[in-house]
Amino acid sequence: MAPVQYIRTPPSIYSRVQYDNEEEGILTVAKEFIAKSSVPDFLPTWNKNEKYEPLKFYEHHDVGFKADASFPNLLPKDTVTTKNITPKLELNDAAKDELALFVAQKGLVVFRDQDIASKGPKFSADFGRYFGPLHIHPTSGAPRTSTELHVVYRRPDVKDIYENRTNLVQWHSDVSYELQPPGTTFFTVVEGPESGGDTLFADAVEAYNHLSPALQKRLEGLHAIHSGVSQALTSRRGGGLVKREPVENVHPLVRTHPVTGDKALFVNSGFTRKIVELKEDESDYLLNFLYDHLNNSHDLQARANWLPGTVAVWDNRRVNHSALLDWEGGSSRLAYRITPTAERPVYDLKDLNAPDVNRVFVGNDYTPSD
């Protein structure tokens, strides 16, 4: 395929600000933005007369080969400083209300230096219950004294986790197959490797906003099946339990947040199976596009690092996530999630809290437990 030759400056690589400037063949951003910038020397310019020949091969010698592996210059031991700026999650009811709003607006908030886990499972369950009835996971383990906490545990003796997969990134919105999936959600790692094991987050509100108005309009009125069947089968095949038979529920492709009014894509490659109104191949095509958009748009994503005492709070109504299993063997990872449920997803807020029923799956793909 021949290289693309642009007849005019493509909008994808040139700022489409209404009042951009051109001075002596050099394009700049609008003067109002230059005036507001604290580092105007770093703002982009485009010289219409600037041309280059194709890059030529050269022999590269990476300077990393010369480095001291103890990093005495990059990470000198006597220059590390800390600053405590994070409030403790010891909140009265008014503060919890504000936390719920803040998380709804931001999507994800990460708190450092928390001691929530040191207070025991009951404290976490009681704390989370303020935000809604806590979800009891149908297949995962839980602390003995608090069945409402979802525990995520990887043993230290796991060998080749990539035996059957090239990667283990699994984007999802927690238990989206439920009739009323979670809202404000809390997660903390209480034991983990020294490095690695981060969690990726993707903002489905921004993902929706990035779509063209025409595609946004086309998604209105479409609904998708979210299924818990594969999760139940995976647990059963691995010798685990199915504590509640799997359900499949239909949710709108685009949901509206009741507090902020923001619209968000409500699909995820973990649990979404088919668009109801489309034929199977049509559904696959559109869902794969939306998955790719959510999962691979790094400009709407964040990555949480689990320093000791870190608690991440996100809104499952607008955020998808995936764990990263990228640390070396020999370390366990123990984490738990507090999962208050929220409203039935709706596109039009006039339908908010309309009564409905959870749909237990019935089909040849799954046989209920005895």
Tokens 């063949």 label which residue? Answer: 25
Task: Answer for the pair 305, 256: CB distance below 8 angstroms, yes or no.
Answer: no
Kindly report the pTM of this predicted structure: 0.78
Q: What is the phi/psi pair of residue 235, to 5°? A: -65, -45
Neighbour-count burial for 222-255, b at 16+ CB within 10 Å, e otherwise: bbbbbbbbebbbebeeeeeebbbbbbbbebbbbb
Distance CA 40, CA 90 (A): 43
Cα 198 from chain centroid (whole Å): 12
Domains and CATH numbers, the chain: 1-81 (no CATH), 93-351 (3.60.130.10)
Q: Mind listing the pLDDT tens digit for each residue in 20-59? A: 567 777 766 567 656 655 434 444 655 666 453 443 342 4
Task: Answer for the pair 253, 263: CB distance below 8 angstroms, yes or no.
Answer: no
Q: Mind listing the pLDDT tens digit for each residue in 137-183? A: 988 888 888 889 888 887 777 677 777 888 888 999 999 999 999 99
- Long-range contacts of 266-270, Cβ-Cβ distance < 8 Å, separation of 24 or more: 266/173, 266/176, 266/204, 266/224, 266/317, 266/345, 267/224, 267/291, 267/294, 268/171, 268/172, 268/173, 268/176, 268/294, 268/320, 269/170, 269/171, 269/172, 269/295, 270/170, 270/171, 270/172, 270/173, 270/176
pLDDT over threshold 60, residue 81: no
Mean pLDDT of the 342-359 span: 92
Provide the pLDDT confidence category of residue 68 given band limits of 50, 70 and 90. Answer: low
Q: 364: exposed, middle or buried (C-beta count within 10 Å: 0-12, 13-18, 19+)?
A: exposed
Contacts of 283 (CB under 8 A, 6+ apart): 274, 275
Distance CA 172, CA 336 (A): 16
Q: Could you tell me the two tokens for 200?
A: 């990726």
Q: Mind listing the pLDDT tens digit for each residue in 147-160? A: 898 888 877 776 77
